[in-house]
């Protein structure tokens, strides 16, 4: 089960649009998907044609009452797609849980107890970094940060990154960050400048898919339909389908991250005759590479070969000295999970380090 939160403190940058349409595109690929609406405005619920006022239970009850499980508040939307709705009372959670211990782990606890399992849980966050967003982040392994061409949106992106780093430092919770360019109009210089800025500073975590400015997205949401249903031949429908494909293509790595909690299989880079042996367990991956200073951080890097046990490895002669490196698993850049030696790079991300002595 991959748990993704869609976060940015800036309102209107496309969190809900992305949550709804990505969820529908994944469901179309026969993935079992649950949308968790963590925004008291309930836009994700309404955008999926579910009016929270018509139901007895919502995310408020799930978070506030120990006896209410997610399964009891979940409503089927369409084939392979369910939603756990939110209504305006959800706003009270921030205040009501203020002094309660474990308040930022309530959603995580409920997701872990859920009876039904999903391939994807997509959490639509409110436009602020308060307790609701903290709950979403603590429950997620991955996050998508939609950024529209505005400086507030970029600012929001920096804030989310800071929050995620805080979670890592304070409670050791690692979240994989992905940035999604949304609402882009290739014809304006402003769009191009912002895209350039994101690529420059967040290139590693950028999703390949870009969502264009598409008027029909708003119309679809107001009819309570994802674009894939409202207008399947629309450009945005194709882009969300591509986004789903991009994420599905990265499942290899994320299935590993769940297993890793059970225990590491082997440890880090090894100095062997002929160079350094790089290895990583990624049984479902299609393509694994290692890149670093020794090849100018090229995207090609050096390809690893898959062994029967799902462990990918290769030996590279990188010469003597200290070297920084990262793996690229199906296009996702990651540090070596089995190597504690890391250096924070200029983008605030960690590179793994190996020392080769003559
Ligand atoms: N790619 C896009 N093209 C056109 N309109 C968009 C796009 N993404 C979002 N919107 C519109 O912008 C508004 C805000 O989007 P929304 O997803 O609700 O943002 P958030 O959840 O971050 O507040 C909505 O009316 C939505 O339909
Ligand atoms: Mg929203």
190 near 196, Cβ under 8 Å? no
Residue 158 confidence (pLDDT) above 80: yes
According to the model, what pLDDT value does residue 131 have?
95
Ligand 1 atom 24, closest CA: 218
**Token pair in block for residue 127:** 């436009």
Q: Kindly give the distance from the C-alpha atom of residue 49 to the centroid of ligand 2, in angstroms, as a whole number.
A: 15
CATH 2.60.40.10 maps onto the chain at 258-356
**DSSP designation for 126:** P
According to the model, what pLDDT value does residue 358 have?
63
Which residues does a 6 A CB cutoff place in the pocket of ligand 1? 11-17, 43, 127, 182-183, 211, 213-214, 217-218, 221
Q: Kindly give the distance from the C-alpha atom of residue 37 to the centroid of ligand 2, in angstroms, as a whole number.
A: 9
**DSSP designation for 55:** S
What's the farthest any 2 CA atoms get from each other in the chain?
A: 71
136 near 38, Cβ under 8 Å? yes
Axis-axis angle for helices 15-28, 235-248 (nearest 10):
70
CATH hierarchy code of domain 2-248: 3.40.50.300
pLDDT per position as a tens digit, 86-130: 999 999 999 999 888 778 889 988 888 788 889 999 999 999 989
- pTM score, whole prediction: 0.76
pLDDT per position as a tens digit, 230-272: 999 999 999 999 999 999 988 777 654 443 332 233 457 887 8
Enclosing H/E stretch for 2: strand 2-6
d(CA 174, CA 346): 19
Instruction: Write the burial class of residue 314 (CB in 10 Å: 0-12 exposed, 13-18 middle, 19+ buried).
Output: middle
Token pair 């107890």 in the structure block, residue: 113
d(CA 147, CA 241): 19
Which of 260, 263, 275 shows the shortest CA–CA distance to 329? Answer: 260
- Mean pLDDT score of the chain: 89
265 near 311, Cβ under 8 Å? yes
Q: Kindly give the distance from the C-alpha atom of residue 5 to the centroid of ligand 2, in angstroms, as a whole number.
A: 12
CATH 3.40.50.300 maps onto the chain at 2-248
Mean pLDDT on 335-342:
80
Q: Kindly give the distance from the C-alpha atom of residue 17 to the centroid of ligand 1, in angstroms, as a whole number.
A: 5
pLDDT per position as a tens digit, 274-315: 899 999 988 888 999 999 999 999 999 999 999 887 889 999
Q: Which of 25-29, 43-47, 63-67, 322-326 bottoms out in mean pLDDT, i.e. has the lowest?
A: 63-67
Atom of ligand 1 nearest to the CA of 19: 17
Homologous superfamily in CATH for domain 258-356: Immunoglobulins (2.60.40.10)
For 269, the 3-state DSSP assignment is coil
In percent, the amount of the chain with pLDDT more than 90 equals 59
**Token pair in block for residue 153:** 């949106």
């Amino acid at each position: 089960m991959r748990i993704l939160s869609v976060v940015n403190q800036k309102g209107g940058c496309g969190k809900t649009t992305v949550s709804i349409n990505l969820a529908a595109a994944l469901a179309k690929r026969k993935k079992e998907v649950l949308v968790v609406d963590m925004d008291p405005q309930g836009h994700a619920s309404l955008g999926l044609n579910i009016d929270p006022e018509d139901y007895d239970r919502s995310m408020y009850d799930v978070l506030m009452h120990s006896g209410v499980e997610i399964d009891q508040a979940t409503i089927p939307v369409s084939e392979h797609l369910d939603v756990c709705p939110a209504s305006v009372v959800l706003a009270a959670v921030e205040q009501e849980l203020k002094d309660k211990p474990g308040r930022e782990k309530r959603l995580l606890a409920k997701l872990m107890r859920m009876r039904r399992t999903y391939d994807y849980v997509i959490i639509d966050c409110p436009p602020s970094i308060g307790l609701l967003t903290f709950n979403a982040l603590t429950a997620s392994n991955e996050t998508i940060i939609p950024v529209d061409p505005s400086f507030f949106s970029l600012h929001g992106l920096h804030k989310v990154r800071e929050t995620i780093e805080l979670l890592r430092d304070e409670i050791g919770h690692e979240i994989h960050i992905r940035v999604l360019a949304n609402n882009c109009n290739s014809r304006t210089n402003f769009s191009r400048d912002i895209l350039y800025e994101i690529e420059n500073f967040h290139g590693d975590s950028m999703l390949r898919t870009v969502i264009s400015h598409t008027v029909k997205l708003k119309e679809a949401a107001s009819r309570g339909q994802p674009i894939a249903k409202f207008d399947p031949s629309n450009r945005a429908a194709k882009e969300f389908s591509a986004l789903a494909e991009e994420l599905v293509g990265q499942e290899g790595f994320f299935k590993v991250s769940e297993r890793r909690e059970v225990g590491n299989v082997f440890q880090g880079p090894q100095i062997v005759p002929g160079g350094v042996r790089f290895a990583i367990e990624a049984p479902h991956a299609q393509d694994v590479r290692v890149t670093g200073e020794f090849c100018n951080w090229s995207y090609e890097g050096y390809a690893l070969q898959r062994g029967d046990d799902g462990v990918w490895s290769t030996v590279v002669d990188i010469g003597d000295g200290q070297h920084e490196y990262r793996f690229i698993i199906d296009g996702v850049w990651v540090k070596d999970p089995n190597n504690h030696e890391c250096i924070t790079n200029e983008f605030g991300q960690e590179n793994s380090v190996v020392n080769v002595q003559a």
